[in-house]
Amino acid sequence: MSTDIIRADGVTKRFGRFVAVDRIDYGLRENEVSGIIGSNGAGKSTLFNLLTGYCAPDEGVIHYRGQDITRVTPQERVARGITRTFQLTSAFDNLSVVDNLVLAFFRAHRQPSLLRLLINRRKRHRDAEQIGETLQTFGFDGIRDREVKRLGLGEKRRLEIAMAVLSEPKVLLLDEPLAGLAESEIKGVLDVLRRRRGLQAILIVEHKISHLQDLVQRLTVMHEGRIIADGTCEECLSDAAVRRSYWQIDVAAGREAVAP
Ligand SMILES: Nc1ncnc2c1ncn2[C@@H]1O[C@H](COP(=O)(O)OP(=O)(O)O)[C@@H](O)[C@H]1O
Ligand SMILES: [Mg+2]
């Protein structure tokens, strides 16, 4: 489909004889905010890795803006605008929030040299502005100089997203960005994602649907390597196959739980 910014056609990924992703067709539209949910082992992270280039499909093709990127490296995909968040490595632990953002900015924009940047004052100003804006948008104004190792998990998740966003991605992919977070931290992460709506396509992979309902425009449900439902959250939750296969689904508080 021409409106899909990134799409997988007939992708299969096997680990030995085990089929983790089984002939999946999946497309993400320009600027769409979409979610993929499914029980543990459904193949969500494997599909995520196929889209981001961290594993290659045994069968099938992946297109990005009409080009075949099936064999394109993860680094090259990032350069073309497909960015995933990463858990911060320990290397950045001793650096402050703002230093991490500056590093992410340099890395993304591939500045030929720091010297050139320093002598280009106008550009420097603009860069500083972008970092300043990011600090504000992501709620880091009060903790800009705090070392990463002193951040809470929710603040780290927000920093990971902020660093990804500085590369100005066309597609932003997040694998379980809410995992392990307390309710108040989840709200903070959802807030920053909400603020990114319409600025690029966003794909969020989560174990459970709770919290995604107010964020995503479209939901896809995976089960045993296949897509079993795709549509609005309501459509997916009322789908017979979802009710049958994905009975652990966690329906938002106040609603009837989906029984096995
Ligand atoms: N590198 C790997 N080697 C062998 N098996 C794997 C590997 N990665 C994933 N799997 C298996 O593939 C299935 C799907 O895994 P995954 O995509 O991580 O599921 P999900 O993210 O939905 O929990 C699981 O059964 C998992 O054990
Ligand atoms: Mg996973």
pLDDT per residue as tens digits for the range 114-133:
666 665 655 665 667 889 99
| Same domain (yes/no): 74, 35 | yes
| Same domain (yes/no): 151, 37 | no
Query: pLDDT confidence of 53, banded at 50, 70, 90?
Result: very high
State the pairing for strand pair 226-231/218-223.
antiparallel
If you measure from the C-alpha of residue 41 to the centroid of ligand 1, how many angstroms do you get, rounded to a whole number?
6
Under 8 Å between Cβ of 6 and 201: yes
Q: What is the pLDDT of residue 246?
A: 65
Average pLDDT (49-68) is: 97
**Angle at which helices 121-137 and 153-165 cross, to 10°:** 140
| Same domain (yes/no): 249, 192 | yes
Q: Using the predicted structure, report yes or no on whether residue 221 has a pLDDT greater than 70.
A: yes
75-91 pLDDT, tens digit per residue, is: 999 999 999 998 777 66
Which residues lie near ion ligand 2 (Cβ < 5 Å)? Answer: 44-45
Q: What is the pLDDT of residue 120?
A: 62
Under 8 Å between Cβ of 52 and 173: yes
Total domains, the chain: 2
Q: Using the predicted structure, report yes or no on whether residue 96 has a pLDDT greater than 80.
A: yes
| Same domain (yes/no): 18, 71 | yes
The pair of structure tokens assigned to 46 is 């494997």
The pick from 14, 19, 36, 46 for probing ligand 1's pocket by mutation, whose C-beta has the most ligand atoms within 8 angstroms, reads 46
Residue 225 CA: which ligand 1 atom is closest?
14
Decide which of 111, 139, 168 is a domain's last residue. 168
More confident residue, 241 or 228: 228
| Same domain (yes/no): 249, 136 | no
Looking at residue 45, which CATH number applies to its domain? 3.40.50.300
Decide which of 153, 168, 183 is a domain's last residue. 168
Mean pLDDT of the chain: 88
Average pLDDT (10-24) is: 98
The pick from 11, 14, 15 for probing ligand 1's pocket by mutation, whose C-beta has the most ligand atoms within 8 angstroms, reads 15
| Same domain (yes/no): 74, 104 | no
Q: Using the predicted structure, report yes or no on whether residue 35 has a pLDDT greater than 70.
A: yes
| Same domain (yes/no): 124, 222 | no
| The 201-206 sheet, strands edge to edge | 82-84, 171-175, 201-206, 33-38, 218-223, 226-231
Q: Using the predicted structure, report yes or no on whether residue 256 has a pLDDT greater than 70.
A: no
| Same domain (yes/no): 136, 180 | no
Q: Using the predicted structure, report yes or no on whether residue 253 has a pLDDT greater than 60.
A: no
Q: What is the pLDDT of residue 111?
A: 56
Q: Using the predicted structure, report yes or no on whether residue 254 has a pLDDT greater than 50.
A: no
Distances 257 to 20, 205, 220, 237 between C-alpha atoms, Å: 28, 21, 19, 10
Q: What is the pLDDT of residue 117?
A: 60
Q: What is the residue range of 23's domain?
A: 1-81+169-260
Q: What is the pLDDT of residue 98?
A: 93
Q: Using the predicted structure, report yes or no on whether residue 178 has a pLDDT greater than 50.
A: yes
Residue 44 CA: which ligand 1 atom is closest?
22
Q: What is the pLDDT of residue 129?
A: 84
Under 8 Å between Cβ of 161 and 192: yes
